[in-house]
Amino acid sequence: MPMNEARSLSTNPLKSSQPLGAAYAFLGIEGAMPLLHGSQGCTAFALVLFVRHFKETIPIQTTAMNEVSTVLGGADHLEEAIVNIRTRANPKLIGVCTTALVETRGEDFSADLTSIINRRADALGDCRVVLAETPDFKGSIEEGWSAAVTGMIDTLTRPTTRRDPERLVILAPSHFTVGDIETLRQTVEVFGLTPVILPDISGSLDGTVPDRWIPSAYGGTPIADIESLGTAGHCVAIGEHMRHPAEALRCKTGLAYALLPTLTGLAATDRFISLLARLSGRPVPASIRRRRSQLQDAMLDGHFHFGGRKIAVAAEPDLLYQMASFFAEMGAETAVAIASTPDNPILEAVPAEVMVGDLGDLEERAGGVDLLVSHAHGRQASERLGIPLFRVGFPIFDRLGAQHRRSALYEGTRDLIFEVANTLIATDHHPSTPESLNPLRNRETLHDSRPSPEPRRH
């Protein structure tokens, strides 16, 4: 079990909030508008992180709770916000994410929302409203993401017994980038299967510039696909925090699922490819075998730089497991493992002793390691310790292209090996040998300065 020290405060926070994670998931839905039910400050903080990470315009709204509404109840503010968003932005879906401000009061959000939808049905029209209860005072991005996906399945997916064996539902984890999802989709399609990825940020947060102003998320998973998830032949959930949505889908439609803890690394990708071959009934294509061979070569090239290295990782639980497993496969040791939250069972499988803490804990324990691994907020610890930082997760606001980096499947793992190895190579300093101690330097000079040998007498 992870170790959790009693602390008075977080000196350098590692985790981001549940509402942010839920809003992130809703941004992967076509025509969606996340609505944070709380104060303007809660929404502004999340919005700043999104804009800095993606460097794009991010559609998020707030119910703008004030002191009076916080005491008397926020149902009126929620109703007004939903109707105004429907009128002005015309989204296909409004994703309501609760915050600690309203959760602490103990309101019945589900009942309030049902009443609002029934009372304002004419104003809402075909706009769907989904609730994700995501208090800030517990959980993190992964829990918020999971809650939003579960809410979408509970609210939108229709019960059915019809199955399409060529349709594959993939419940994507919160740490997958646009590049990871694009690679995942292409790999599934090579086997002749049709992937339905939920959520799909590759269509909405991929950095494209639309030819007109779109006030809600554009691209992403269509609502019609969410409604018909149960007609798929199979479901694959990636990451332990996607177990709850997969269970919700199974309970509602009877669709069984396979849970894969990670898609990073040779062994993990082999399991996924074998699963696709079995589900499709097709042999593994030559193109996939070639990518596997490229990863094997990268592992051979990279193991000289990974072997014996000590790594310190601070991340969300599933991302922590992914990175620690990757380093173990490459021959490196995760000497320090800091998780943002304690409740994910995957922490027991992390190949390291895990502590639940923050970036302050990382800095205290990381002395003497070769590499820090965390998001961009770890840069101060990196500077103070003089140890390079490899950025993963969310947010990464001091580098370009974070959303297009890949770490999944054969090609993503290969790219990850190269990026980490190059980070280590760039900071390696090999001591130079003094000339007087190196017998191989200036050999001609040394030879000329030697005394001539005595002539041999006969």
- Of the candidates 371, 350, 374, the one whose C-alpha atom is nearest the C-alpha of residue 360 is 374
Confidence of residue 420 (pLDDT cuts 50, 70, 90): very high
CA atoms within 13 A on the CB side of 342: 10
383 located within any domain: yes
278 located within any domain: yes
Average of per-residue pLDDT across 135-147: 93
Alpha-carbon distance of 132 to 148, in angstroms, equals: 5
Greater confidence (169 vs 343) lies with 169
- Of the candidates 106, 103, 13, 4, the one whose C-alpha atom is nearest the C-alpha of residue 344 is 4
Alpha-carbon distance of 407 to 427, in angstroms, equals: 22
pTM above 0.85?
A: yes
Least confident of 9-13, 137-141, 174-178: 9-13
Task: Summarize pLDDT for 276-333 with one digit per residue, the tens.
Answer: 999 999 999 999 999 999 999 999 999 999 999 999 999 999 999 999 999 999 999 9
pLDDT of residue 42: 79
Least confident of 71-80, 97-106, 373-382: 71-80
Same domain (yes/no): 231, 332: no
396 located within any domain: yes
Confidence of residue 133 (pLDDT cuts 50, 70, 90): very high
456 located within any domain: no
pLDDT of residue 363: 94
Q: What percent of the chain has pLDDT over 90?
A: 72
pLDDT of residue 446: 45
81 located within any domain: yes
Burial (0-12, 13-18, 19+ Cβ within 10 Å), 370: buried
pLDDT of residue 7: 60
Same domain (yes/no): 28, 117: yes
pLDDT of residue 458: 45
Same domain (yes/no): 245, 313: no
252 located within any domain: yes
What b/e string do you get for 111-148 counting C-beta neighbours within 10 Å, with b at 16 or more? ebbeebeeeeeeebeebbbbbbbbbbeebbbbbbbbbb
Last residue of a domain, one of 284, 311, 337: 284
Task: Summarize pLDDT for 425-453 with one digit per residue, the tens.
Answer: 998 755 444 555 555 555 554 455 455 55
Same domain (yes/no): 421, 342: yes
Average of per-residue pLDDT across 61-65: 86
454 located within any domain: no
Same domain (yes/no): 266, 338: no
Confidence of residue 128 (pLDDT cuts 50, 70, 90): very high
Same domain (yes/no): 42, 140: yes
Q: Going edge to edge, which strands form the sheet with 164-171?
A: 194-198, 164-171, 232-238, 257-260
Last residue of a domain, one of 258, 284, 310: 284
Average of per-residue pLDDT across 51-64: 89
Same domain (yes/no): 258, 334: no
Res. 185: pLDDT tops 80: yes
CATH of the domain at 107: 3.40.50.1980
Same domain (yes/no): 307, 350: yes
Same domain (yes/no): 260, 280: yes
Instruction: Map the chain to HEC letters.
Output: CCEECCCCCCCCCCCCCHHHHHHHHHCCECCEEEEEECCHHHHHHHHHHHHHHHCCCCCCEECCCCHHHHHHCCHHHHHHHHHHHHHHHCCCEEEEEECHHHHCCCCCHHHHHHHHHHHCHHHHCCCEEEEECCCCCCCCHHHHHHHHHHHHHHHHCCCCCCCEEEEEEEECCCCCCHHHHHHHHHHHHHCCCEEEEECCHHHCCCCCCCCCCCCCCCCCECHHHHHCHHHEEEEEEECHHHHHHHHHHHHHHCCCEEEECCCCCHHHHHHHHHHHHHHHCCCCCHHHHHHHHHHHHHHHHHHHHHCCCEEEEEECHHHHHHHHHHHHHCCCEEEEEEECCCCCHHHHHCCCCEEECCHHHHHHHCCCCCEEEECHHHHHHHHHHCCCEEECCCCCCCCCCHHHCCCCHHHHHHHHHHHHHHHHHHHCCCCCCCHHHCCCCCHHHHHHHCCCCCCCCC
Confidence of residue 217 (pLDDT cuts 50, 70, 90): confident
Greater confidence (419 vs 161) lies with 419
Confidence of residue 68 (pLDDT cuts 50, 70, 90): low
Same domain (yes/no): 317, 361: yes
Res. 457: pLDDT tops 60: no
Burial (0-12, 13-18, 19+ Cβ within 10 Å), 449: exposed
Res. 204: pLDDT tops 70: yes
Same domain (yes/no): 272, 330: no
Q: How many domains does the chain have?
A: 3
Q: What is the mean pLDDT of the chain?
A: 89
Q: What percent of the chain has pLDDT over 70?
A: 90
Range of the domain at 263: 164-206+213-284
Helices 409-427 and 286-306, packing angle to 10 deg: 20
Same domain (yes/no): 87, 116: yes
440 located within any domain: no
